[in-house]
Structure formats: structure tokens, C-alpha cells
């Protein structure tokens, strides 16, 4: 991405001052429509549906600063948008994500990426139970530990993680899609999957730092 990720002039949306998620998201959309390529949602204290349901042609980054409530970026349908959560993300982050990207830099709750359809989601740290439940498409990457039932009823898409970090009953009811192991820096993966991970690592490089080395590089 070419946009400035550190400029001090990025507009801020003060979550505690607004509180209502519909108004918060409406103000966020106003900034994106005005052409801003970076918007900060500051002061999150468990508010739900932050950056959820967004659909548009924007290209940029939405930083969520603080503790995000349930359903962060749920239903996101904006292929040029990256939502980055700098604090804990509660249950259901990325639910039904269709297009776009979600980067979680701290721990996340249960049901991460439930019914994901497209785009990609990268969780750098630990996530709760049932990550990737009913995943239908897209790419889900979890670099930390996982709770029970990861990949339950997966019917599509790609779910990358470290197999030795999976909790109990991973892949229960698996129907289609792939649950792929990142062990050994992914040396056993198909080249297309390695290339895919390398591209995601490149896109996420401004935020994931050393975690980038956990993802396979192109050969």
C-alpha cells in the first residue's frame, strides 16, 4: 500500500463521544468518501459492529484503537479497505467478511471469521473457540493458539495455522475448503499457497513486524 500509515493528520472518530455504532460507522464512511486513505477509530471500549457492513470502492486503512466489541468488520465488502485492530477483538470479528482485509494484532474471542466468504483475515495472536466456523471462502490465517473446534463445518476457502497450536476437535464436520499447516515455514505447501501467503505478508508488513517471518516467502 502506498498510503501514509503514520501521518498525524489522519482524521479521528472518537468512539466514546459518539457511542452509537451506526453513527460511528456513518462518520467513518464520510471520511472515506471525502478521500481520506487512513481513518482512526479511537477509544474503543467494547462497542459492537465497528467498521461493520461497510461496502464501497475506497482504498485505505481503518485503525481501531482500543478494545473492539463483537462483530468487528462483520460483513465487510470493500476490496480496497484494510481494518486493523490494535487491541483485543471480541467474538465474531470478521463474521461474513466478503471483500477486504482484517488484521488483528491482539487476541480475539470466539467465532473469528464465522461464515467468511472472501477477502483475508490475519490474526497475529491467540483466538478463541470455533475460529473459521462455517468458512465458505476467502483466507483465514491464525499465527497464535486456537481454542476448540477450529475450522468446524468448513465448506470453502483456505484456513492457515500451525497444526500443533490447534485445540480439540479441529475440522469437525469439514465439508470442503482447506485447513493448512504453517509448520516448517510452510515448506510443504503448494507454491500457489506460498505465493498467496507471501503477498498477504507483504500487504500486512506495516503492522505485523516480526510476525512476517512466520509466513512462507516466495521461492
Domain tally, the chain = 1
- How many Å separate Cα 35 from the centre of its chain? 23
Q: In what order do the strands lie in the sheet with 12-14?
A: 12-14, 38-45, 60-67, 77-85, 99-104, 120-123, 139-142, 155-161, 176-181
Cα separation, 10 vs 218, whole angstroms: 33
The CATH number of the domain where 184 resides is what?
A: 2.160.20.60
Structural domain range at position 17: 12-214
Q: What is the pLDDT of residue 92?
A: 98
- Residue bearing cell 489522519: 10
pLDDT in tens, 130-173: 999 999 999 999 999 999 999 999 999 999 999 999 999 999 99
Q: Identify the H or E element spanning 101.
A: strand 99-104
Q: What is the pTM of this model?
A: 0.95
Question: Is residue 125 domain-resident?
Answer: yes
Q: Residue 109: is its pLDDT beyond 60?
A: yes
Instruction: For the chain, give the percent of residues with pLDDT over 70.
Output: 95
Residue 3 lies in a domain: no
In a domain, 33, yes or no: yes
> Is 29 domain-assigned?
yes
User: What's the Cα-to-Cα distance from 157 to each of 50, 93, 98, 116, rounded to whole Å?
Assistant: 24, 17, 12, 8
| Environment class of 28 (CB within 10 Å of its CB; exposed 0-12, middle 13-18, buried 19+) | buried
Domain membership flag for residue 110: yes
pLDDT, tens digit, for every residue of 198-215? 999 999 999 998 899 888
Section 77-90 average pLDDT: 98
**Is residue 38 in some structural domain?**
yes
Residue 6: inside a domain:
no
The CA distance from 218 to 89, in Å, is 30
Amino acid at each position: 500500500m502506498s498510503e501514509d500509515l503514520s501521518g498525524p493528520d489522519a482524521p479521528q472518530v472518537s468512539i466514546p463521544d459518539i457511542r452509537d455504532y451506526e453513527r460511528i460507522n456513518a462518520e467513518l464512511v464520510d471520511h472515506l468518501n471525502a478521500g481520506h486513505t487512513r481513518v482512526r477509530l479511537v477509544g474503543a471500549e467494547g462497542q459492537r459492529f465497528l467498521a461493520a457492513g461497510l461496502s464501497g470502492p475506497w482504498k485505505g486503512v481503518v485503525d481501531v484503537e482500543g478494545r473492539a466489541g463483537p462483530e468487528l468488520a462483520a460483513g465487510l465488502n470493500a476490496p480496497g479497505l484494510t481494518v486493523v485492530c490494535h487491541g483485543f477483538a471480541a467474538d465474531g470479528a470478521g463474521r461474513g467478511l466478503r471483500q477486504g482485509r482484517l488484521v488483528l494484532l491482539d487476541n480475539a474471542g470466539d467465532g473469528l471469521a464465522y461464515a467468511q466468504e472472501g477477502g483475508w483475515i490475519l490474526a497475529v495472536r491467540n483466538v478463541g473457540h470455533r475460529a473459521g466456523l462455517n468458512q465458505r471462502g476467502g483466507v483465514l490465517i491464525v499465527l497464535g493458539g486456537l481454542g476448540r473446534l477450529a475450522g468446524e463445518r468448513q465448506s470453502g476457502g483456505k484456513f492457515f495455522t500451525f497444526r500443533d497450536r490447534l485445540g480439540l476437535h479441529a475440522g469437525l464436520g469439514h465439508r470442503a475448503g482447506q485447513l493448512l499447516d504453517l509448520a516448517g515455514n510452510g515448506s510443504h505447501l503448494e507454491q500457489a499457497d506460498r505465493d498467496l501467503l507471501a503477498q498477504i505478508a507483504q500487504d500486512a508488513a506495516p503492522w505485523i513486524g516480526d510476525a512476517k517471518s512466520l509466513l512462507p516467502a516466495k521461492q
